[in-house]
Structure 1
């Protein structure tokens, strides 16, 4: 078994695709881990901004999570309908494109691509934050200074796991997902039990400072809006199931809907439970820049269980689950880019399936862009959160608006008005949230996302224009044109006479009777091709009675080689209208990649320039010599 097979598995035949389909149990970690793990950082993201409100921040944080839960329920019912209406995968791009038109579809596509990249970055970053938080006060406290490196290592591991395919990924992530959910549910149940036995007021960890004088009135309302906008990060990833319906086995619609129901149900319980415990235990998040920083979840687990074995089990499961939550992006981003590429808005390479029946190039692209984001922001979650959620809510809004149009255009049936109402409520709710998130987070970094969306749309328009031009030029299926068939003028650049150039000359004699061997000679060059030309080249040709090639020697006082060759070839093509010019490039092919550094790369450069500056009448032919 090769190393590649050991790491990412053996190649799968197309006929094995059905065996790669998944059920509800595997669908939860694949499509739900991002949403579920947002319970670990969503409440904290909301409550961190309420620190200036002091004791009041605990109460307001509870209310904000309540508002998010209501919004989450609305989005859940909306996406259940989307799954039923689009059993082939009804992501925001598909729904918006088919029902709202091309431009809204591109807007949804750009928003979703950015959201998935940020999903991967935030998930990994949050996982590493949980790790560095849990080891504060131990001999591993120094890990915090290596946050970025740990993030990048986890990213590479995730990419390799996902290269094995959907089924293997689901199997690998099932245990960490269920351990994460189980430990948090245990935290909530035990915390509530202790709260009840303490008469509703368990011992708080530490006194919370009083509110600052400025934390009332208009400033307080603005703070609450910003807190709500940050907390909405807990809703990202909800769309994942509707994008990946085709990954499920039959009956895929019912399985996808059940998967979505389980994911949203668990997420609502976790969000409610964590917010409730933070309120009853009076735990507020720490300033991320504070010395010995601990996450809100770390503080809650300490308050309920202390720093025993369960603390480390819980924080370990949170670390693993958060790091793996980026897998939701890895599951959906390749499917999204494939759908966009099918409409010519992204390179067609995203359509191709790899050795494990998945869209490998989407995984490569996501890995690369996520690495860039992590490097730019140092792998710190709180620096990434302001960019987050805007793309998701914009996609939510377009998808729900598209579904309203879908029901309106469809055939009349008893539930039609109800379906339109549900999706309409979803569109209005997520639309308002999008505006709130954008305004509240704009100066904190949301402007970056707002700028990237139109830039990405512009790039997709350029790609579409290119493919449209290619299609126009290639679609003329006229009968084979046999007019003006002539042998090409063969040009062979030749620095010296050796085995490689001999092979090129032999092939050139097969192609044409008109061959021009071009030798660029500099003043400091010892010897010249002219000195051996007659004996080694012309004599054998004359003996066989073949057409004699012409040796063209170009002096180069300044030792330039590529420029004189290009000038000669382009001039020759211009002087021979109607004739093809075939440039034969003798090239040494080495066995090991590192050996390329031992040879000059003039052939590659000349080939590139000929392709860039040439035209339909210049043909480039490689003549390889395998070392």
Structure 2
């Protein structure tokens, strides 16, 4: 769509750009086949980079992919909404154009809900739209080219169209669009088209989600996906070029909508194509819903993200990852008002950074493996040389040595092919990364390049916290603690049935020694205090009552000071605060009462050597 800025004649470059993208896809497919073979348990960029390049490159790859998964959902959903609004232009539903954000939010919630029900359910629901999209696109390409070559009809050139390049370059006549300006335009278009390749990483990262044999099925899926994408990218690019298709830069119909409407008219088939397109774009978002939670769980398992991301729900789904992804993608759509073109400059930077790190990691992996094999070969040769002196048949030894050398030559050939494939993948990915970063830098890519290091710093901070916690909880040099007596404090707001069980429990902790237990009442109204003292003589069970005055009518602050003072005075004892609580029968009734006990528990959580115990009294009605 970046070619829109270059006018009608520049659509000629659709085909060579499409060819370049498919060549890149082929290289990445071969590279990731190697990755899946080497890491059959799941070889995403995070694992490969961490194992072969180190922790920091692994975290960079992980941060890049997490950002790109979020953008995948936001961009795919926004593009799906654009397909829907393109189809309903001029109909009673054209008002949807003004509600793109709300429609995008609804689709995100729908996909999140499906994924919370489980991976198998999500796969079953989205299988149909996938097949429908592929079939309709193949039909569009075949019939569109047939119709073009039999009728010669093309789309009309929009009236008043003027050649525009980047805002910083200005307006050009096509004949002047040469040299750097032309190269810059083509690089921008190529970088925008590379967003179609982001699904390659998701397959490599989710090998374990496939049925057994999972690695073989993942490789087959990756290959089929690459073949289908090649046909669709080349076919639609060539058809759009032949039909002189170019959408308006100010909005309106998408390029695919223009081509399909020109080919099939505005009938049922057109709406089927647009519906299938919207569905497949939603499915692209679903791919991120599968990849983001799984990647977050791997990073969390290494203690670089909160442990909640590593927890699976009752349907074996990483529910927290699904929910966080949905929220962040929804926020992006709201910020950019559902305009996918505004988000595209942010897109693909992260995934090609992860491509580069992953393939570089595989390159290092093959180098290390080769060195290890050479070391093992030297050991075997030394052992064979020692055995030759004791063998009874030297000829037999020579034949065996020749056979082993042939096997090693075959291994060396396989190693050479593997390192060339992954080395080429790393080099090409790095070049594309530079192209994307440079051509999209001023259009928003800078924010992603800043965000990724910030995420890595966050990962390090989280990991540092977990390390400190582990060190402080370690039993190394620790000794068993001696038994201690309780200093029991019972905060009361009055005397009633809910207080009596708490007083009983407090006496049991103190061993019927009332010197170690006290009830404390914060005085707001002196008249109420006098009434409480009279009732306490009867119901206090011999426990002394301490009254703390509160001149500013605050309850929690004077109570906190009293507890802190008691804990400081009785350091040789455990200060136990027993909170009497009554529990209403219905949940909504809880909202009608003060949450003083909850506030007290929250404050005391940060007081050392203070234990809080709740004694609930359940109301029956």
**TM-score, normalization by structure 2:** 0.87
* 1:623 shift after superposition: 2.0
Per-residue CA distance 1:131-177 (angstroms, 9 max, x = gap): 01110011110011111111111111111111121112111111111
Moved more, 251-260 or 363-372: 363-372
Per-residue CA distance 1:25-52 (angstroms, 9 max, x = gap): xxxxxxxxxxxxxxxxxxxxxxx32233
Moved more, 322-331 or 178-187: 322-331
Instruction: Verify the 8 A CA contact 2:203 2:218 in the aligned structure 1.
Output: yes
* 1:533 shift after superposition: 4.4
* 1:587 shift after superposition: 2.6
The aligned runs of 1:406-485 (5 Å cut-off) are 406-410=365-369, 411-412=372-373, 413-414=411-412, 415-476=414-475, 481-483=480-482, 485=483
Instruction: Verify the 8 A CA contact 2:495 2:532 in the aligned structure 1.
Output: no
* 1:537 shift after superposition: 2.8
Moved more, 373-382 or 308-317: 373-382
* 1:276 shift after superposition: 0.4
The aligned runs of 1:161-560 (5 Å cut-off) are 161-198=114-151, 201-206=152-157, 209=161, 211=163, 212-213=172-173, 215-287=177-249, 289-290=250-251, 293-410=252-369, 411-412=372-373, 413-414=411-412, 415-476=414-475, 481-483=480-482, 485-512=483-510, 513=513, 514-523=516-525, 526-528=528-530, 530-538=532-540, 541=541, 548-560=542-554
Query: For 1:618, which of 602, 610, 613 is the aligned residue?
Result: 610
1:581 aligned counterpart, secondary structure: strand
* 1:465 shift after superposition: 1.0
Q: Structure 2 CA distance, aligned partners of 1:129 and 1:578?
A: 70
- Which residue of the partner structure matches residue 581 of structure 1? 575
Q: Structure 1 CA distance, aligned partners of 2:343 and 2:582?
A: 48
2:288 aligned counterpart, secondary structure: helix
Query: For 2:28, which of 75, 87, 101 is the aligned residue?
Result: 75
Instruction: Verify the 8 A CA contact 2:66 2:292 in the aligned structure 1.
Output: yes
**Which structure has the larger Rg over C-alpha atoms?**
2
Q: Structure 1 CA distance, aligned partners of 2:530 and 2:142?
A: 88
Unaligned 5+ residue runs, structure 2?
A: 164-171, 374-410
* 1:482 shift after superposition: 4.4
Residues 420 and 162 of structure 1, relative CA distance in 2, 3 Å threshold: same
Instruction: Verify the 8 A CA contact 1:202 1:280 in the aligned structure 2.
Output: no
Per-residue CA distance 1:212-265 (angstroms, 9 max, x = gap): 336443333222222222121111121111111111122111111001111111
Q: Structure 2 CA distance, aligned partners of 1:537 and 1:210?
A: 91
- Which residue of the partner structure matches residue 58 of structure 1? 11
Instruction: Verify the 8 A CA contact 1:345 1:464 in the aligned structure 2.
Output: yes
Moved more, 428-437 or 570-579: 570-579
* 1:520 shift after superposition: 0.6
Number of aligned residue pairs: 564
Residues 593 and 406 of structure 1, relative CA distance in 2, 3 Å threshold: farther
Q: Structure 2 CA distance, aligned partners of 1:242 and 1:400?
A: 12
Q: Structure 2 CA distance, aligned partners of 1:464 and 1:589?
A: 39
Instruction: Verify the 8 A CA contact 1:97 1:104 in the aligned structure 2.
Output: yes
**TM-score, normalization by structure 1:** 0.87
Instruction: Verify the 8 A CA contact 1:523 1:556 in the aligned structure 2.
Output: no
Moved more, 218-227 or 356-365: 218-227
Cα RMSD for the two superposed structures: 1.9
* 1:379 shift after superposition: 1.9
- Which residue of the partner structure matches residue 167 of structure 2? none
Q: Structure 1 CA distance, aligned partners of 2:335 and 2:7?
A: 32
Instruction: Verify the 8 A CA contact 1:87 1:253 in the aligned structure 2.
Output: yes
2:615 aligned counterpart, secondary structure: strand
Per-residue CA distance 1:104-139 (angstroms, 9 max, x = gap): 011011111111111111111111111011100111
Per-residue CA distance 1:416-444 (angstroms, 9 max, x = gap): 11111111111111111111111211221
Q: Structure 1 CA distance, aligned partners of 2:536 and 2:525?
A: 22
2:444 aligned counterpart, secondary structure: helix
Instruction: Verify the 8 A CA contact 1:497 1:529 in the aligned structure 2.
Output: no
Unaligned 5+ residue runs, structure 1?
A: 1-47, 542-547
Instruction: Verify the 8 A CA contact 2:18 2:237 in the aligned structure 1.
Output: yes
Q: Structure 1 CA distance, aligned partners of 2:156 and 2:277?
A: 21
* 1:505 shift after superposition: 1.2
